[in-house]
Amino acid sequence: MTGRLWPRGLRARLSLTFVLVTVLGAAAAAWSSAGSASTALVTSTQRRLTESIAGQIGATTPQLTYPPDQAALDRLRAAVGANTLVTYRDLRSADGAETGLVTEALHTAVRTRDRLVTQRVTASGRPWLLIGTPIVITGPDGARTPSGIEVYAVRDLTGVERQVDDLAWSAAGTAALALPPAVLLALLAARSVLRPVRELRDTARRLAAGDLAARSPPQGADELAELTVTVNEMAESLQTSMAAMRRMQADARRFAADVSHELRTPLSTLTAVMEVLATAAAEMEADARESAQMAITETHRLVRLVEDLMEVSRFDAGTARLRLEEVEVGNAVRDCLRARGWLDQVDLAAPEEIPLRLDPRRLDVIVANLVGNALRHGGPPVRVSVSATREQVRIEVGDGGPGLPEHVLPHVFERFYKADAARVRTPGSGLGLAIALENARLHGGDLTAGNASGGGARFVLRLPRKREDG
Amino acid sequence: MRRIWPVVAVLVLGSCGVRPSGVTDAGRAPTGVAHGVTLYFVDAHERLRPQFRRTYRLGTVPEAVSLLLFGVGDSDLHTEIASVAGPRILATTGPGLIQLRVPLALREVTPLGIDQIVCTALGVHVQSGGSRRTRVQVRFTLSTHESEKRRTCPLIR
Amino acid sequence: MAAILLIEDDPLVRRGLQLALRRHGHDVRTAGTGEDGLRELRSATPDLVVLDLMLPGIDGVEVCRRIRAAGEVPVIILTARGDDFDVVGGLEAGADDYVVKPARPTVLDARIRAVLRRSTGTSDGVRVHRDLRIDTTALTVSLRGDLVTLTPTELRLLLTLSRAPGRVFTRQRLLEEVWEQDYLGDSRLVDNCVQRLRAKIETDPAAPEYVQTVRGFGYRFGPV
């Protein structure tokens, strides 16, 4: 069966099969009953015809001269009816019109069998019954010997055939009657079978779309119900493991947030007393002074690290919020550099005035981080350029150093990623670029890292000018 | 689904009109022709003997019994049935039974004479295609219980 | 230099800040809870209160509200960085400024001095605008003859704005002048203080007559 002849849809296939089977069943039943009825009809007609001929012969023979002369044969023929031929040795009765139909097989059977025989033939489109019989001589003791008289009769079966045809047509009609209810039943059956399939499909779709709570209620106890149960179990275990994973993730984030939070109180004390220590350090002996200095430096590092950790926790928890203000981007960048005393180390190119609604503190964080990195790890000159198109504002920070190695590029925004394993101590927390990227994204913008064609690392911050929620 | 189509073909072709057939047996051949009729008489030793009469046809049971009553003719056999003039015989053939109404009283016939009548009638019945187990009732003119007897021919078994 | 009341629950942080602020020349009294702090406040009014918002018992915001209800003592709150909920709550409760923990004593000292400086200004006499009378020498404000009590920050904001009536001050400018903060100062300090000021001197704070909003820029002093 080619795909063209055989529909692909499950519903159509199911319906068509059902209709086909039903109609074929009805047709088979109708045809077979019509067949047996017509067989019975033909048989009974044949029997009636043969019995009538045998009876007519039997009624005539006792008065028939034997051995018969031509007149006797004609008399017997007349008694049996039209379309009859009676022969005795070389004698033949007057021919009936259709006796030419008598076959050689029938002749032979009549001559050899001593029995009454029949044969159906079709001639010129009409069915005929050929009846042939010898007449036997029975002795008083019952011994039967051939008499040499043979009777052949031809009978028209057209009437029977018409009846048989009527039966066939009524059988076809019966089968055709089964068609509409079969179609109806097929549609109903297809619907009842396909409904769970459709539900299952919808459930699978929802699962694929991320709705892990999607289930379909299993109905009945068939294969489809088993499939439904299996899908449900699959969804269940998926949901369970996803929930466990999310819980673990949330736990880990909360832990980081909690740790940072808890660290803050002792750090507050340390921060408070470090200045006291610093002023006192001037009068200490060298070792103690160096120790105090280290304690102060490391405390400040620790404060910075904890603050960055808390910032990252806020991004992870989704609680980071923008505080938008209208600022002039060039000024904001300049202020950032000036506040850190970097203005004389950095070339700032901000030729035009670009007003933009953004969170100034977060922009400061990004710029300070990028420029700080460029000053620490890259080489001079460090250049910052601010430009704008209709859609976005672009802040580019480049340096004159060796640039970022290819294998480092994909990882620069990862947390605690250290490009050089040997460089253990850096003033940063290792979270700076990650936080810068998160801040850019919070603005609906992006931050990318690359290398300038002339060498040197180049970071590009893009901020959209029109924000839906700005 | 491929398996359906042969079934369909069989069904469609299977019951279409009256189909030709081979030569089929349809029963015993009819009988009844004969060179003549067989009558039964009695020989010198009081035994039933058949006598063939060439009549060129078998004829009916009454005709045969009439011929029997007509007499033995020129022969060393004799009849044990009294001679009656203008015999009129009625025969009724039912299932398994031939009823013969003869123009004779019981005293005009010996038991052997009754056998002559029974055998002659049964012989014609058998020759015209009847069963050999058919019984014969011979009804006499005067009422007697012999009329009710269902008889068989000792020579035709 | 100034009498400061430090309300902070953690004893070590409390002690550390006390030590550090003393080094900057302040006289620091301390309290471990809000209740103790309010009691201290009643016994002797300090020049300024440094208040940790995370307190057991009545929380810092509530303490701040009660301090403000009791008088015009300036309040600087200590808050976790970026805990906007705390900052907003504290500012609405009447805090003058906030410092993010862990607070560096130098930064805290600078803020304390800035807040205290607000009660002093350039004295050029008396400014009268309709019903409002501002005495820049006595540092008093009266509305229709009635004296209005203002916190030092509110007073300094009013003095700054009324110095040039009609001139628009950006929030940034006000942060620098009144709060002495750098370019990253929190503009909510300005907005909250403006609201408190309006509540005290405006007939209808929803339709202000003296402290007017210039949308997208900042504030100016009216009537023009």
At residue A384, the pLDDT reads 92
- Which segments of A65-125 are extended strands (E)? 84-88, 91-92, 115-123
The confidence band for A5, taking pLDDT boundaries of 50, 70 and 90, is low
Q: What is the mean pLDDT of residues A157-185?
A: 84
Higher pLDDT, C39 or C56: C39
Give the model confidence (pLDDT) of B50-67 as tens digits: 998 888 888 888 888 888
**Confidence class of residue C36 from pLDDT cuts 50, 70 and 90?**
very high
Q: Which residue has the tokens 């005290």?
A: C200
Give residue C120's pLDDT.
58
Sign of torsion over alpha carbons A232, A234, A237, A243:
negative
User: What is the residue type of A188?
Assistant: L
> Å from C12 to nearest chain A CA?
6
pLDDT at B2 over 80: no
Task: Compute the average pLDDT of residues B34-57.
Answer: 90
Q: What is the pLDDT of residue A470?
A: 42
Checking if the pLDDT of C139 tops 50, the result is yes
Q: How confident is the model at residue C198 (pLDDT cuts 50, 70, 90)?
A: very high
pLDDT of residue A3: 47
Q: How far does the CA of residue A139 sit from the closest CA of chain B (Å)?
A: 6
Cα A157 from Cα A11, distance rounded (Å): 49
In terms of Cα–Cα distance, which of C12, C14, C5, C65 is closest to C40?
A: C5
Structure tokens at A78: 């007349």
DSSP code at position B18? P
The residue ranking higher by pLDDT, A420 or B50, is B50
pLDDT tens per residue across span A365-401? 999 999 998 888 888 889 999 998 888 999 999 988 8
Identify which of A177-181, A265-269, C115-119 has the greatest average pLDDT. A265-269
Total count of domains within chain B? 1
pLDDT of B136 > 80? The answer is yes
Q: What is d(CA A463, CA B9) in angstroms, rounded to the nearest whole number?
A: 77
Task: Give the pLDDT confidence score for residue C7 in this predicted structure.
Answer: 94
Fold (CATH) for C3-117: Rossmann fold (3.40.50)
In a domain, B4, yes or no: no
Chain B's closest residue to A47, CA to CA, is B26
Contact A269, C12 (CB under 8 A): yes
At residue A422, the pLDDT reads: 47
Which tens digits make up the pLDDT trace of A219-277?
777 787 888 888 888 888 988 998 899 898 888 888 877 887 788 888 889 988 988 88
Structure tokens at B55: 């009549």
DSSP string, A163-186: HHHHHHHHHHHHHHHTHHHHHHHH
Q: Which of A263, A269, A363 to mutate to test the interface with C (most CBs of C within 10 A)?
A: A269
Separation CA A297–CA A303 (nearest Å): 10
Residue A140 neighbours by CB under 8 Å, 6+ apart: B38, B50, B122, B123, B126, B127, B156
Q: Predicted confidence band at C123 (pLDDT cuts at 50, 70, 90)?
A: low
Other CB atoms within a 10 A radius of the CB of residue A428 amount to: 17
Q: Is the pLDDT of residue C30 over 90?
A: yes
Among C175, C198, C69, C178, residue whose Cα is nearest residue C119: C178
Secondary structure class of A127 (helix, strand, coil): strand
Would you put residue A123 in left (φ > 0), alpha (ψ -120 to 50) or beta?
beta
Choose among B24, C9, B127, C109: nearest CA to A141. Answer: B127
User: Cβ contacts of residue B61 below 8 Å, gap of 6+?
Assistant: B89, B91, B93, B98, B100, B121, B124, B125
β-pair type (C48-52, C27-31): unpaired
Amino acid present at C127: R
The maximal CA–CA distance of chain C, rounded, in angstroms, is: 53
In eight-state DSSP terms, residue C164 is: S
pLDDT band, residue C39 (cuts 50/70/90): very high
Complete domains list, chain A, with CATH: 10-177 (3.30.450), 210-320 (1.10.287.130), 325-464 (3.30.565.10)
A281 CB near a chain C CB, below 8 Å? Answer: no
Residues β-bridged to residue B91? B100
Given a cut of 70, whether residue A410 has pLDDT beyond it is yes
Domain range spanning residue B123? 36-151
Whole-prediction pTM: 0.54
Confidence category of residue A364, pLDDT binned at 50, 70, 90: very high
C-beta atoms of C10 and A268 within 8 A: yes
Q: What mean pLDDT is reported for chain A?
A: 84
Residue B123 lies in a domain: yes
Q: State mean pLDDT over A82-101.
A: 80
For chain C, the structural domain boundaries read 3-117, 126-221
pLDDT band at A4 (very low <50, low <70, confident <90, very high): low
Q: List C-alpha distances in Å: A256 to A204, A250, A426, B3.
A: 36, 10, 22, 70
Residue B72 lies in a domain: yes
Question: In A, which residues are within 8 Å of C23 by CB distance?
Answer: 275-276, 279
Q: Quick one: tokens of A54?
A: 């045998």
The reported pLDDT for the residue numbered A1 is 44
pLDDT in tens, A326-342: 888 998 999 899 888 89
Nearest-Cα distance to chain A for C91, in Å, is 16
Q: What is the mean pLDDT of residues C192-212?
A: 89
Whole-number pLDDT of residue C83: 65
pLDDT reported for residue C51: 92
Mean pLDDT of A94-103: 74
A3 touches chain B (CB under 8 A): no
Question: Does some domain include residue B157?
Answer: no
Per CB-CB distance under 8 Å, the chain B contacts of A118 are 21, 23-24, 26
- Name the residue among B156, B120, B143 with its Cα closest to residue B36: B120
The enclosing H or E element of C34 equals helix C34-43
In CATH, what number does C126-221 get? Answer: 1.10.10.10
Cα(B26)–Cα(A50) distance, integer angstroms: 7
Shortest CB distance from C20 goes to which of A261, A266, A275? A275
Between A68 and A27, residue with greater pLDDT: A68
Cβ contact A28:A191 at 8 Å: no
